[in-house]
Amino acid sequence: MSFPTTSRFQSSHYLTSNATGHNYSRHYTGSSGAYSNLNRYPASGTGSAGRANFNNTTTTYGSSYQPNYSHNPITKVPVVTATRGLMPSNSRPTYRLPPDPPSISRNLDPLHNSKPLPSTPPPAYKDAIASSPASTLTAAATISSKTEESPSSTKIGTFDISQRHRGGRVGLSNLGNTCYMNCIVQCLSHTKPLLELVLDCKDDQGLPDNGPVSGPFKRLLKELWSPDPVSSYARPSELRVSMGRYAQRFSGYGQQDAGEFMRFLLEALHEDSKRNKSTGRNKYSRIQPIDFEELDKLSDLEKSKLLWERYISVDSSPIIDIFVGQLKSTLECCHCGHKTTTFDPFWDLSLSIPRGRSTDLQSCLKLFTSRETLEGDEMPTCEKCKARRKCDKSFSLYRLPKILVVNLLRFTREGFRTKLDTLVDYPFDLDLTPFVDAESRQANKFGTRYSLYGVSEHSGTTLSGHYTATVRHAYDRNKWMAFNDTRVSNSTAEAAVSSLGYVLFYEAVDSSAQTNGSVASEREP
């Protein structure tokens, strides 16, 4: 099936909410959103994977806000979050540049304020931000670690694995509404595959020391994991400034959304550590355009493999190996029964929360993978009927990542901004078998079982709130800790499950493989 590309659908990417409380983010979820981009040559100087990511991201901010993402090429494959949407899966839209954003402080500062907003930034940050364009990311954007020395700064040598149980217990100071950053950094700090890229891998195999964002991130994690820190907390000053240069929204002192910060941070780390650094026409000219008619003749397993290989041929990185999976989208014509399937990479799952006093994660996943009917203005054109027809659309997980990040969509818009405090009972041991496509269940290298190890929590309302984290120690599985900015305390696994849970971090139980969750066998199961 195909869908006529119209400006109406290209511009309808913002969160809407229906009467039942289900959130929908209208976005591209098919080959157009990730793979057909590879058939285009880069446009010069404009565009963004980040903007595509923003379109696919449910945001806690007003729909009038659109960020400026001039730092990335328009043809870069989008970093996407898998959000249940209404956009037909295999439409082929084109990118349009958004206008410059309005004042971030005017629109965003009232959200989740954990501390009074300073009237002016501290001098060190003010000078650093003013010294370069906030919307441009260059190698020169690397901030010296001496800009503002952290209280826990210490000479970091080799991290003896026998001493690692002593690390990972250092807090982070709040630099002014930066609790959204602190909670995500603490969760990523205890993401073992990512942590080992920092502590164990050589520079050319893991995260580079000189990356505009990866450098500050590595130095900060090494402070957090020092077995003998000189202070109980570190200052994430360098990372905050670097992320502000990578994405303008993080350059100020307004509170931001933790889930969105995580996506931008992972994208920045990915950009810094990409294995093929070539840019421009040469990179794209090596990739043959997709013949979609021939593609539809392949089995789902063959199609998935082909599109995945095309994706990583451009965007391969250690971050991809850890966090990215693949989603299958199916469209079935209600008139003739004709089916089409597409496959897209996803970096996290954004799940709507059903209305009610309580629910569980399995119910959220069932809602995400359930069938929905596209009718009226949403009807696509059936390739067999040669006419616009009502059709059913469904999602299923196809390739599973080593680390699965789940974003619970607690923020809705129903005339005004609201937050859902529904208790979502998310299990410590998560079995994704019912939600994985039957054809690929036995072929996923990492299996279908996951274990919870980190939770980013949000307390308060959309007007005033605070982010914290509850995390299991990366090298002591029986040790849980609560991170509240500079304060670190012992916690329990039971405390990790509450109505405050917002971003959930799961690791594959069978994560011994060294590559991303690719299908282990090329033959059909």
- Taking only the tens place, the pLDDT of each residue in 107-129 is 333 334 443 333 333 333 333 33
Neighbours of 502 (CB within 10 A): 24
The answer to whether position 522 is within a domain reads no
Q: Please name which of 232, 151, 154, 225 lies closest in space to residue 194, comparing C-alpha atoms.
A: 225
pLDDT of residue 189: 97
Domain that holds residue 254: 7-94+105-118+153-508
Q: Tokens 């880069």 identify what position? A: 42
Q: Which of 2-16, 66-80, 172-186, 279-293 has the highest mean pLDDT?
A: 172-186
Q: Which of 7-11, 169-173, 457-461 has the highest mean pLDDT?
A: 169-173
Strand 233-234 versus strand 381-382 pairing type: unpaired
pLDDT confidence band for 289 (50 / 70 / 90): low
- Taking only the tens place, the pLDDT of each residue in 314-371 is 889 999 999 999 999 999 999 898 888 889 999 999 999 987 788 999 999 999 999 9
Compare 35 and 252 and report the one with higher pLDDT: 252
The answer to whether position 396 is within a domain reads yes
179 is catalytic: yes
pLDDT confidence band for 134 (50 / 70 / 90): very low
The answer to whether position 128 is within a domain reads no
The answer to whether position 190 is within a domain reads yes
| CB contact at 8 A, 257 and 183 | no
The answer to whether position 148 is within a domain reads no
Q: Whole-number mean pLDDT of the chain?
A: 71
How many domains, the chain? Answer: 1
The answer to whether position 521 is within a domain reads no
The answer to whether position 446 is within a domain reads yes
| CB contact at 8 A, 18 and 355 | no
- 105 has a pLDDT exceeding 80: no
Q: What is the CATH number of the domain that holds 177?
A: 3.90.70.10
Q: Which listed residue (27, 71, 112, 179) is catalytic?
A: 179
| CB contact at 8 A, 200 and 206 | yes
pTM of the model: 0.70
Q: Which listed residue (190, 270, 466, 473) is catalytic?
A: 466
Percent of the chain predicted with pLDDT > 70: 62
Q: Please name which of 373, 379, 377 lies closest in space to residue 394, comparing C-alpha atoms.
A: 373
d(CA 76, CA 43) in angstroms, rounded, equals 10
The answer to whether position 291 is within a domain reads yes
Compare 297 and 344 and report the one with higher pLDDT: 344
